[in-house]
Amino acid sequence: MINLPEVRVSAQRKELRKSTYYEPGDLGSQIITIEDIKKSGITNLGILLNTVLGVNVNSNGPIIGDIRIRSDGFFMPLLVVDDIAVNSLYELPDLNSIEQIDIFKGANPFGMRGASGAIVIHTKRGGTITDNTEYLHIKQISPLGYQQPLEFYAPKYDTPEKRNVQVPDLRTTIHWQPVVQTDSRGEASFEFYTADESTSYTVIIEGLANDGSIISQEGKIWIKDK
């Protein structure tokens, strides 16, 4: 046995969400923090509330049908979201958008409105909305969606007037072609107009072969004085 010296761990305490009606922990409220929600692994608000002693929730999947605090409660508890009382269970937010839940099973700061208890929900604010929690039975998928391919802009000197224009063409990126299809001999060609400066251009060709192998080639071409 080795006796280690005293270790003091210090960290900045995460502030609990406050209400305009009370301070956190007043009147024996039970607080469920965002850390508690993450540790539980639960993704449904009704299921989470059912884990609280004295709270009974009847739900059908994600839809909450009824909430009672204490089994002998005749009425539903007062429901408050961001300090605003809601009149319907359909107005309760999704669990993923909730940062803290305060549950009053008895005395509470809402007077007669909270005679059957109160459930106060604080939703996430800016900076806390991102949830990187990974659940074993849920996979988040972000489809790429539909995107129309962009066309690379390049001037067309197809008339004498355009070829004799006095404004110099000083482009640095000359040509980009996303799709180049080779013929039966494996050959392909493309055309482009160079800029007005006499310089060299780097040509990069990338693609895939029929067998899936990657093709990459880089070379240079030189533009002489006109």
Across 191-201, b (16+ Cβ under 10 Å) vs e yields: eebebeeeeeb
CA-to-CA distance for 31 and 28, rounded, in angstroms? 9
148-226: which CATH topology?
Answer: S-adenosyl-L-methionine-dependent methyltransferases (2.20.130)
- HEC letters along 25-38: CHHHCEEEEHHHHH
Q: Residue 168 has what pLDDT?
A: 86
- Residue listed under structure tokens 């993923």: 96
Contact present, 21 and 85 (Cβ < 8 Å): no
Q: Residue 167 has what pLDDT?
A: 85
Q: Residue 177 has what pLDDT?
A: 86
CA-to-CA distance for 54 and 69, rounded, in angstroms? 6
Each residue's pLDDT tens digit, 97-118: 999 999 998 888 998 888 899 9
Q: Residue 153 has what pLDDT?
A: 81
Q: Residue 132 has what pLDDT?
A: 57
Residue ranges covered by each domain of the chain: 26-123, 148-226
Regions of the chain short of the pLDDT cut 70? 11, 13, 60-63, 71-73, 126-140, 147, 149, 225-226
Name, in order, each residue with C-beta under 8 angstroms of 110's C-beta and a sequence gap of 6 or more.
21, 78, 80, 104, 118
26-123: which CATH topology?
Answer: Ferric Hydroxamate Uptake Protein; Chain A, domain 1 (2.170.130)
Half-sphere exposure of 65 (CA within 13 A, CB side): 4
Percent of residues, the chain, with pLDDT higher than 90: 23
Q: Residue 129 has what pLDDT?
A: 46
